Amino acid sequence: MKPAIKSERSKDFYTIQGASMAEKTTSEQAKNCTSKSKPGMERSLSQGQVVDAAFRMIDEHGYGKFSMRALADNLGMGTMSIYTYVPSKQQLLFLVIQKMMDEYDNAPVPGEFWEDTLHRTCESILTVNLRHPNIRIMQLQTQLNPPQQHQRSVYYLHADQGMPLKVYEVMYGVLRSFLTGFIDVAAKRQLELEEQGDDSNMGGDWSRISANDTELERFRQGIDFIIAGTRTFAAPDPCDWRTPIDPLSWTWGRGE
């Protein structure tokens, strides 16, 4: 019988969003980036400060209002000076996405079973993306591939639990498609980017179901479906996979 190791989950979808938005604060570094330099002098910054400023601008106002010139003005420097910190706009946006993904909770919990890990990490991904919906939409608009750091961490997290590679490959493929579709729709709705045309087929259960398909309970049910499918695919393996108690045995974080 498995020990009762369960991750604490938020009770309400909108509670997650509200609490998360309350957590959004501006770092002292980002505030300092807006300070004026002396005439004729450009400020000396770190790459991290430049990324922080870009992140803050896109997070607050959306990618449509962002430009390298606007970023340079915000930092009190010439536009070309930005490229001394990042080689291209594409790389800057990549680092902005990475900054958001650094907030994901994908660290191992000793003794945690893989089902609880899946719920915990996936709800963290949902929460973070809805905390920063403009960053999520920017990723869609630019079609940038996501940084691999998070994927690597999740891979080693489940590998340390003992999940076979062939099972992980199938589970991850289904899970990624589910997360992408769910979060993209939820972010658009949060930003009120969806518009409804004149549709004669509106009404009935199909419309009600569609309108409620981004509720937190639906999200959790989707993860449970993936867990059930994973168990079926892995049969007759008992799927008794969990994180080792001893952190020294973890490959996670070392990437070995």
Q: Is the pLDDT of residue 33 over 70?
A: no
Sole residue written with tokens 């997360």: 179
What pLDDT, on the 0 to 100 scale, is given for residue 43?
63
| Distance between CA atoms of residues 165 and 175, nearest Å | 15
Q: Which residues of 6-38 are buried (b: 16+ CB within 10 A; e: fewer)?
A: ebeeeeebeebbeebeeeeeeeeebeebeeeee
- CA dist 173 and 178 (Å) reads 9
What confidence tier does 14 reach under pLDDT thresholds 50, 70, 90?
A: very low
Residue pair 184/140 in contact by the 8 Å Cβ criterion: yes
Its pTM surpasses 0.95: no
CB-CB neighbours of 220 under 10 Å: 16
- What digits encode the pLDDT tens for the residues 157-173? 999 999 999 999 999 99
Report the mean per-residue pLDDT for the chain. 84
The pLDDT value given to residue 255:
53
Whether 18 has a pLDDT exceeding 50, the answer reads no
pLDDT tens digit sequence for 72-116: 999 999 999 999 999 999 999 999 999 999 999 999 999 999 999
Angle formed at CA 252 by CA 250 and CA 253, multiple of 5 degrees = 120
Residue 251 pLDDT greater than 80, yes or no: yes
User: Which one, of 168, 151, 176, lies nearest residue 241 by Cα?
Assistant: 168
Report the pLDDT value the prediction gives residue 196, as an integer from 0 to 100: 63
